[in-house]
Chains A and B, each alone.
Chain A
């Protein structure tokens, strides 16, 4: 499934949705050159096994439902799926778990994703300020963002200098630079990611909010590349009546 960006937005609009699914969000972002882990929708255990086989192992399975906000809280995420048989069984297991924990939620199927190697967790996002318009955010994941709210913002469009300052002005910078024998991550890859998000927002004024959470950041020269968004959530603005 690789819909063109315009079709993704149009089909969400047609269904009266402003929240895109993870699969839709990632397809839209990938088309704009933003590194995301590839995700495809399976609507049956057999399809899940086939997609997983195509991707290679391990894969991650996640419930596909725009009505479930916190997928892992309802048993909707399975990581480290090692073979095709496990992918098929995992499909059924996830759908059943979500059915128990969130009865009545509409389920579109299960998204099958390449499993990214764990990296330093960051968060990248966009929101729209009523006074200044779209802004890009960068921070580290976990307690840095949840408790300390250690995040940096800049107005769209970002200049290269803005992106460079953002990754360096957070208090958690030493975590990115490497501590206790851990190598530092590729800061320039994070800067490129921020710049490509800014360009994406300029090209898609219909997108009013965006979360890439988490983003995994890797050391320079890591085979997985510099940084990749593992989960994505795109929110469209209310459709302007024609």
Chain B
């Protein structure tokens, strides 16, 4: 939990200095402690100049063992300093801040906790003192009480589970803002497992100086960011945040997951309307009005992000649904219809073509397609998808239930199916959304002596998301995620977004 300071008299943030902090060439970690050395250990693949400042004799050998240069003062660090990560105990924070200012550092990230969020006198006094120092210099600070900056291309991390890569920034990636460090890590890793490239994550904690609005404004203008996910517990400048959210959502999708209740406080209400305006009702309306995508949990946020990142904008809501069994063909139809999609019959010409190869014994092809018996034949999924693509009755793409057992028994066939789906996506420009159920019966049949069923499932999933398809563990989540894409696209075209 973090404390939300008042918005009055907030310190403006220098954009050029913030840019240096978020894309640093030189990083100094001050006050790192073993045995974990979380910040230094996470930076071992950092493609920049990394230094440690630590005067505790007990800690220095452990730091040097990692191959990191340790210095006794920030003043000794050579060259320009872009980011100082402060992990010192809270009474030392003002001293380190003065040194960082004297050294001309662009900005500081305070991992250190123990400020206003504690509510104790010393914490509040320290926060005041810290803010005065920062204000005098105009130094942007991230935190306190947070995990700071992850930058994939630079290999700058705050958790070793975050991946590292030197992708072409032109390709675009997801950026994550999180008031909580834990959710910052979880959203990053969750999105990466769903096959989404995460370029940046910023955990910003108490937001003494750099707020969610400052960071959102940065990401709105950041060319390497093509989608944004945000975890928040409250906002400081409500109107500013709303307006930034609306501007940003016109350019790129923004998923907003909100936890907890804000600390806005009670107010006197003299109208019927006021008594109905719950905090949640207003928040939900604000997100919707801004054209952002609401999420209610970590899974929900990752589901939405995966669909928005992987799925091309469908031109309609009429889908073709493909499963391997009859029962699943009914279940998938129920869920997609419930989420507002249509599952129409195809045209007569399509059925004529299908009749030439479709195995109707134990199967059916009205739409939904109960296709287990048919697509055992290697070429048949491709033929089926060609029919779907040519039929104007379908304008929203394909949802398909991919079978783990098939993956385990006939990996070659599974790969061919993914090839066919990729071809369909490219040729039709319509989305493909996949489910990979964790069905007990199916999983038991995938048990192998040398590999657990969970491992088989994970490998299957990896293959699917590796092809750039969003994959979900059940139909309901798949349908809800695809619905988010449709809602966002409809909002964007209605508001004349780019």
Contact = CB atoms under 8 A, between A and B. Distances in A.
Q: What is the interface residue range for chain B against chain A?
A: 20 to 34
Contacts of B239: 132-133
B273 A209 contact: yes
A149 B284 CA distance: 15
A153 B271 contact: no
B267 A130 contact: yes
A130 B262 CA distance: 11
Contacts of B269: 127, 209
Interface stretch (B77-85, B135-143, B274-282, B321-329): B274-282
A130 B267 CA distance: 8
Contacts of B288: 165
B235 A211 contact: no
B448 interface: no
B285 A135 contact: yes
Given A131-B238, A137-B276, A209 B271 contact: yes
Nearest to A158: B289
A127 B274 contact: yes
A228 interface: no
A126 B269 CA distance: 11
Q: Which of B238, B281, B285, B495 has the most CB of A within 10 A?
A: B285
A165 B234 CA distance: 25
A139 B277 CA distance: 12
Contact of B276 (A18, A128, A145, A155): A145
A19 B234 CA distance: 31
A210 interface: yes
A180 interface: no
A18 B268 CA distance: 13
Dominant SS among interface residues on chain A: strand
B277 A127 contact: yes
A155 B243 CA distance: 11
A213 interface: yes
A161 B494 contact: yes
Interface string A86-128: 0000000000000000000000000000000000000101111
A235 interface: yes
A129 B265 contact: no
A152 interface: yes
B238 A209 contact: no
B272 interface: yes
A162 interface: yes
A125 B277 CA distance: 10
Contact of A153 (B242, B264, B265, B277): B277
Nearest to B262: A131
Contacts of A133: 238-239
Given A131-B264, A153-B277, A211 B272 contact: yes
Contacts of A213: 272
A233 interface: yes
B242 A137 contact: no
Given A153-B285, A165-B288, 16 more contacts: A18-B270, A125-B271, A125-B272, A126-B271, A127-B269, A129-B238, A129-B264, A130-B267, A135-B282, A153-B281, A154-B289, A155-B286, A161-B495, A209-B271, A210-B273, A233-B271
10 contacts: A127-B273, A127-B274, A128-B274, A130-B267, A135-B282, A139-B276, A155-B242, A162-B289, A211-B271, A233-B271
The 6 tightest CB contacts between A and B, nearest first, are A125-B273, A131-B238, A209-B271, A153-B285, A127-B274, A132-B238
